[in-house]
A = this chain, B = another copy of it.
Amino acid sequence: MTVTAPAWTTAPAELYQEIQQFYAQQMHLLDDGRVAEWAGTFTPEGVFAANAQPAPAVGRDAITEAAAKATEAYAAAGVQRRHWLGMVAVTGGTGDTVTARCYALVIETPRGGRPEIKASTLCEDELVRAGGTWQVRDRRITRDDLI
Interface size class of A (residues with CB under 8 A): 35 or more
Residue contacts A-B, CB under 8 angstroms, 6 given: A13-B18, A20-B88, A82-B103, A82-B120, A115-B118, A115-B119
Q: Which residues of A contact B (CB under 8 A)?
A: 9-11, 13-14, 16-18, 20-25, 27-28, 80, 82-90, 101-103, 105, 107, 109-120, 132-133, 144-147
Q: Is the CB of A10 within 8 A of B21?
A: yes
User: A82 to B87, alpha carbons, bound, how many Å?
Assistant: 10
Residues of B within 8 A of A86 (CB): 24, 84, 86
Whether A120 contacts B80 in the complex (CB less than 8 A), given A13-B13, A85-B87, comes out as yes
